[in-house]
Amino acid sequence: MTKATIDDVAELAGVSIKTVSRVVNQEPNVRDSTREKVEKAIAKLNYRPNKAAQTLASLHSRLIVLVYDDPSAYEIPSAGYIIRMQEGALRACRTANYELLIHPCRYRSKDVAKELRTLIEQVRPDGIVLAAPLSNVPRIVNAIENTGTPLIRISPGKRNGKLSAVATNDRQISAEMTRYLASLGHEKIAFITGHPGHKAVGNRFLGYQDGLTQSGLEFSESLVVAGDNSIRSGEACAMELLEREDRPTAIFAANDDMAAGVMRVADRLGIKVPEELSVAGCDDIALAQQVYPALTTINQPLAAMVDEAVLRLIGWNRENKAVEDTTVVPGALKIRESTGPAPT
Amino acid sequence: MTKATIDDVAELAGVSIKTVSRVVNQEPNVRDSTREKVEKAIAKLNYRPNKAAQTLASLHSRLIVLVYDDPSAYEIPSAGYIIRMQEGALRACRTANYELLIHPCRYRSKDVAKELRTLIEQVRPDGIVLAAPLSNVPRIVNAIENTGTPLIRISPGKRNGKLSAVATNDRQISAEMTRYLASLGHEKIAFITGHPGHKAVGNRFLGYQDGLTQSGLEFSESLVVAGDNSIRSGEACAMELLEREDRPTAIFAANDDMAAGVMRVADRLGIKVPEELSVAGCDDIALAQQVYPALTTINQPLAAMVDEAVLRLIGWNRENKAVEDTTVVPGALKIRESTGPAPT
DNA sequence: GTGAAAGCGCTAACAC
DNA sequence: GTGTTAGCGCTTTCAC
């Protein structure tokens, strides 16, 4: 069976191709009876508009590109993040009949900007979602902006003039977690900071400090240890914190991997979680439910953020103008088994 | 800056658009000096061919679609599998300057076949990679075949006539793992079977039996317990196996998640791994390196398989004919810390 | 080796 | 409400 074209449909329905086009694109100004005739012909011929032709004629590709950092090896914990972003993007694309193109690229490479320009000019996507940390690199953001393609950034560090973005309330929710730990009676709450390049992770540290203040606890440098987001660094930080005489009764890590590292060390040292030590993480990756006991953490609504971003891009195309601001999708505390009352 | 078209390049280079087209597509029959002139003009104007126009005129989209099962919720352990497939597909696409479109779809849905047909007819991809378990559903495979789009299936259960596929040597490598365990002195090697719908997992059970035979051990029904691929089922199976008086000294699970469940239970029961119990898994997902002790497992070369599939698809387009057979990408044993000599 | 002309299948602008 | 006419930016055929 050779594919039907708009001409075939028009002929079968006894109308002009323009009318078929109107029906396909749900434009107004078509009599109901005509519309029905056309729809019948479309169904009969199993007609599907050719996307390339639509794109060429309309300058709209119905294609969204999701751009994110290509982890050097697709290792822990990138997979979870990436899949969740894709999930959100796919959800939005599906409802609007857009397709999703994925384009991981090397953060460090000098050619990223050029590579993205080439991609954009060749594919002409209707919108780009740029995930952190790429969304924090001015050179990359500008390169995309210059092509005129609608762009929305995910979880960017700072507001950047009038660029569109979708963020989450990292700082507030981290403060909430800290207050929660304080409310359990913990007074020595340690914090493991994350990779310094990642802004969202920095916000969590600020939230931790906010939370202490709000709970009437004093911030102490000695309770802060620097990790780099990896499980291994979580282990190293935990060793440093837990081998002290006056060890903390709660450890809040800037991500789940480091929190998992903490739990592993606690296990080795014979420190019971949560009876002797409460552990909290951030992100709510799959691992959080795999460790034992299950990890208390902050659910980062990545899927919802990207969903929102794509919906805005699609709206941007329809309205033909951007909503230039930052949308905030709130995270939520996930209280599981790794936190409990402070030991007496 | 408005985008340059082929006409702009032709004008600047002082040649016809056809010649520019020849240069862009690396066709023969262009004098070197002409080619240089054109290339200079392309560089000067920063010209990139418009993909939609190329597709419309040539019927080639330089687009590959990766179709896989959309897990009801993007949970453990799907993320790892999906990411690894994408990794392979992206690698191949990148080298050939193709783009990758991802299209997860609900396995159970009645409309999958129709949905895929619509996708194909709209997007006109140059090839489709269909992952298991979708690749085992005749209705879906046929629907794609009927569109005439090059299709390669990943890890299908049975050979299906002359359809192209890429598989791995599940059975042989599982036999190898079993022989390895036997070589460590284990005589009571238990097996936890996986989800019955997944063919590859069934092959592993056959491989286990092969391995026993090859090692001179007798197969015993009592050493086989049925899981469903989840961590939880691994725990349940482990309970059943390890609470016996005459418990096995090694457990080989048909996937890593179930093996992780086994290790969790062993930990709870105070059974030391690997001193008192050896545990082996399958797949080599990220979790395998996260658990303690690190899990001995079988590396399933998913990325390499999909890489191979996409390369074949691209070759298919170039040669304009399919290589209709099954390519086998071998897996490999990953000996880590969870296996050791049988207790005496 | 190179070029002119004719579409690919659709949408846009404007007529009717 | 509906149809006509021009393209969108390329590749293809075939002439030179």
CA dist B211 and A133 (Å) reads 48
Q: What is the mean pLDDT of chain B?
A: 90
Taken in order B176, B254, A79, A124, the sign of the CA dihedral is positive
Does position A77 have pLDDT exceeding 80, yes or no?
Answer: no
Residue B311: which pLDDT band, with cuts at 50, 70 and 90?
very high
Residues 283-342 of chain A sitting with CB below 7 angstroms of strand C: none
pLDDT at position A175: 98
CB B130 within 8 A of CB B96: no
For the segment A191-213, the average pLDDT, to the nearest whole number, is 89
Contact A102 B103 (CB under 8 A): no
Contacts of A303 in chain B (CB under 8 A): 74
CA-to-CA dists, residue A4 to A1, A212, A272, B34, angstroms: 9, 66, 68, 41
For the segment A207-225, the average pLDDT, to the nearest whole number, is 97
pLDDT at position B320: 67
Over residues A127-142, the pLDDT tens digits come to 999 998 888 888 999 9
Closest CA to B342 of B245, B284, B273, B289: B273
Does position B326 have pLDDT exceeding 90, yes or no?
Answer: no
The torsion of the CA quartet B137, B139, B145, B146, rounded to 10 degrees, works out to 180
pLDDT at position A75: 55
pLDDT at position A2: 64
CB A271 within 8 A of CB A277: yes
pLDDT at position A229: 86
Which H helix or E strand runs over A33? helix A32-45
**Whole-number distance in Å between A59 CA and C12 C1':** 11
pLDDT at position B77: 58
Residue B74: which pLDDT band, with cuts at 50, 70 and 90?
low
Bridge partners of A278? A250
Contact A79 B80 (CB under 8 A): yes
Following DSSP, what letter does each residue of B281-304 receive, concatenated? Answer: -SB--THHHHSSSPPBEEE--HHH
- Looking at residue A283, the DSSP 8-state letter turns out to be B
Residue B133: which pLDDT band, with cuts at 50, 70 and 90?
confident
Helix axes B170-183, B199-214, angle to 10 degrees: 40
Closest CA to A202 of A136, A265, A247: A136
pLDDT at position B162: 67
Helix axes B51-58, A51-58, angle to 10 degrees: 130
Does position A80 have pLDDT exceeding 70, yes or no?
Answer: yes
Does position A162 have pLDDT exceeding 80, yes or no?
Answer: no
pLDDT at position A148: 87
CA dist A122 and A105 (Å) reads 17
Q: Report the relative pairing of strands B189-193 and B250-253 from DSSP bridges.
A: parallel
CB B251 within 8 A of CB B190: yes
Over residues A322-334, the pLDDT tens digits come to 677 888 999 999 9
Q: Which residue of A has its CA nearest to B288?
A: A76
CA dist B52 and A56 (Å) reads 6
Contacts of A52 in chain B (CB under 8 A): 51-53, 55-56, 61, 124
**Whole-number distance in Å between B10 CA and D13 C1':** 20
B210 phi/psi in degrees, rounded to 5: -55, -50
Q: Is the C-beta of residue B57 closer than 7 Å to nucleic acid chain C?
A: yes
Bridge partners of B280? B252, B296
> How wide is the angle at C-alpha B105 spanned by C-alphas B104 and B110, nearest 5°?
170
More confident residue, B156 or A278: A278
pLDDT at position B307: 96
Q: Which residues contact A108 (CB under 8 A, 6 or more apart)?
A: none
Nucleotide nearest to B5 (CA to C1'): D9
Over residues A244-299, the pLDDT tens digits come to 999 999 999 999 999 999 999 999 999 999 999 999 999 998 788 878 899 999 99
Which H helix or E strand runs over A226? strand A224-226
Contacts of B3 in chain A (CB under 8 A): 121
Q: Residue B340, SS3?
A: coil
For the segment B9-29, the average pLDDT, to the nearest whole number, is 91
Nucleotide nearest to A19 (CA to C1'): D2
pLDDT at position A285: 84
Residue A147: which pLDDT band, with cuts at 50, 70 and 90?
confident
Q: Which pair of tokens denotes residue B125?
A: 């991809």
Identify the weakest region by mean pLDDT among A41-55, A306-320, B56-70. Answer: A306-320
Does position B258 have pLDDT exceeding 70, yes or no?
Answer: yes
- Looking at residue B201, the DSSP 8-state letter turns out to be H
Residue A152: which pLDDT band, with cuts at 50, 70 and 90?
very high
Residue A159: which pLDDT band, with cuts at 50, 70 and 90?
low
Residue A106: which pLDDT band, with cuts at 50, 70 and 90?
confident
Ranked by mean pLDDT, the top range of A3-12, A151-160, B157-166, B181-190 is B181-190
**Whole-number distance in Å between A11 CA and D15 C1':** 35
Q: What is the mean pLDDT of chain A?
A: 90
Among candidates B102, B260, B292 on the partner chain, residue whose Cβ is nearest the Cβ of A86: B102
Q: Residue A62: what residue type?
A: R
Contact A103 B99 (CB under 8 A): yes
For the segment A174-197, the average pLDDT, to the nearest whole number, is 95
pLDDT at position A258: 95
Enumerate the nucleotides of strand D whose atoms come under 7 Å of any protein CB: 1-5, 7-13
Q: Residue A319: what residue type?
A: E
pLDDT at position A215: 97
Residue B241: which pLDDT band, with cuts at 50, 70 and 90?
very high
A55 and B CB contact within 8 Å = yes
CA-to-CA dists, residue B6 to A56, A124, A146, B342, angstroms: 14, 16, 21, 71
**Whole-number distance in Å between B128 CA and C7 C1':** 28
Over residues A30-68, the pLDDT tens digits come to 899 999 999 999 999 989 999 999 999 988 899 999 999
CA dist A79 and B67 (Å) reads 18
Q: Residue A86: what residue type?
A: Q
A80 and B CB contact within 8 Å = yes
Over residues B262-295, the pLDDT tens digits come to 999 999 999 999 999 999 999 998 788 878 899 9
CB A128 within 8 A of CB A67: yes
Residue B220 Cα, gap to closest chain A Cα (Å): 32
Q: Residue A284: which region, alpha, beta or left (left: phi > 0; alpha: psi -120 to 50)? A: left
pLDDT at position B192: 97
pLDDT at position B160: 56
Contacts of A89 in chain B (CB under 8 A): none
Nucleotide nearest to B9 (CA to C1'): D9
Give this prediction's pTM. 0.87
% of chain B surpassing 70 pLDDT: 94
CA dist B225 and B238 (Å) reads 9
Ranked by mean pLDDT, the top range of A81-90, B193-202, B331-340 is B331-340
Question: Chains A and B: how many Cβ contacts under 8 Å?
Answer: 106
pLDDT at position A158: 59
Q: b or e along B263-300 (b: 16 or more beta carbons within 10 Å of the residue's beta carbon)?
A: bbbbeeeebebbebbbbbbbbbbbbbbbbeeebbbbbb
Contact B122 A231 (CB under 8 A): no
